[in-house]
Amino acid sequence: MKMTHCIPGLLITLSMNALSSQAQDQSQSDSTGLPGDNFSLQGALSLFKKAGSPEEFEKLLNTESQQVNNLDLNEDGNIDYIRVINKKENDVQIFVLQALVSDKESQDIAVIELEKTGKDNAVVQITGDEDIFGEEVIIEPSEEDNAFNVTGSSIARGPNMEYDGAEQTAGVVVNVWAWPCVRFVYAPAYRVYVSPWSWYARPTWWRPWRPLAWHAYRPIRYRYRPHYVVVHTHRVAYAPRLYRPTRVTSVTVTTRHKTTVTHYRTSRTTRTVTATHGNKQYRATRKTTTVEGPRGNKVSRTRTSVRKRG
């Protein structure tokens, strides 16, 4: 009986130790080899937050000093241009971030999902494409200087997390209505923005640059982590249905990264342990991902979460 009472505390301790070890392992590991290593979803959402319009957002994405995009999917030695394509249905909007790979191919990198949920309320997430990040990755804001959750109370400061970090507390949603771009796209006179640029027609202000090596880009990419968190549920339930028929993938990108992405998906393992403490049950879930890096090295990332059941 004593042993049963100790299990929840032990699980929580193991969870904290695992997360601590995970952070240490990530700081020492090499790139996983996935294309998504070279694009910051948190960074893209940060740029969306400060942009005044979708057009300005696209310009920020393709500005070297912002250091959000480090993708060179066609391996021509230059950063890929990312265009923004907006679709809208009622109060739901999506913004597709699409890389120009060649004159015939493009590749979706991520989708920003936005919904106006009230007169002065809106929610937002960004979802990374499964062919770029190995699996669908959903990021959302975890806290703001003047953010409020759905009940109107202020949100506490969130942890500093990457894609394999802990999940955000269920039910906490950041209201992003104050973001300039959000108000802009819900203005009565707004017309959906579809980037006019293509492989042969690029903006005059755009100056492509050479991508950084992983060891140089990694710390830059991670600086966008604060105030964002990984979740596993679409807040905007209709957004995937709106996006799915328009999803664009590149045969070149898929073929080039097929082996690495397949390894990533097939090597994920999940182990769940349930413990009882009094009338309460606790469940600890550990997910481990092992991939082969570009130098043949094995890179493992482990996420452990403990939840109270019932």
The rounded distance, in Å, linking the Cα atoms of 158 and 173 is: 12
**pLDDT score, position 125:** 98
Q: Which tokens is 273 given?
A: 């342990």
| pLDDT cut 90: percent of the chain above it | 59
**pLDDT score, position 7:** 52
**pLDDT score, position 309:** 56
pLDDT at 66 over 80: yes
Q: Can you tell me the mean pLDDT for 73-88?
A: 97
pLDDT at 179 over 50: yes
**pLDDT score, position 222:** 85
Q: Can you tell me the mean pLDDT for 187-208?
A: 96
**pLDDT score, position 254:** 95
pLDDT at 262 over 60: yes
**pLDDT score, position 267:** 75
Q: Can you tell me the mean pLDDT for 203-210?
A: 95
pLDDT band at 23 (very low <50, low <70, confident <90, very high): very low
Q: Can you tell me the mean pLDDT for 44-53?
A: 97
Query: pLDDT digits over 114-137, tens only?
Result: 999 999 999 999 999 999 999 999
The torsion angle over the Cα atoms of residues 229, 235, 236 and 240, rounded to 10 degrees, is 70
What is the CB-side half-sphere exposure of residue 10 using CA atoms within 13 A?
11
Q: How many CB atoms lie within 10 A of CB 218?
A: 18
Mean pLDDT of the chain: 80
Query: pLDDT digits over 34-46, tens only?
Result: 999 999 999 999 9
Q: Are 101 and 73 within 8 A, CB to CB?
A: yes
**pLDDT score, position 10:** 52
Which of 34-38, 218-222, 262-266 shows the lowest mean pLDDT across its residues?
262-266
Which of 52-56, 141-145, 247-251 shows the lowest mean pLDDT across its residues?
141-145
CA distances from residue 47 to 134, 232, 252 in whole angstroms, order as listed: 23, 22, 28
pLDDT at 104 over 60: yes
Query: pLDDT digits over 271-305, tens only?
Result: 555 555 556 665 656 666 554 544 555 555 555 55
Which of 120-129, 153-162, 239-248 shows the lowest mean pLDDT across its residues?
153-162
Which of 13-22, 109-118, 213-222, 274-283 shows the lowest mean pLDDT across its residues?
13-22
The tokens 């982590």 sit on which residue?
A: 225
CA distances from residue 171 to 134, 148, 267 in whole angstroms, order as listed: 27, 12, 31
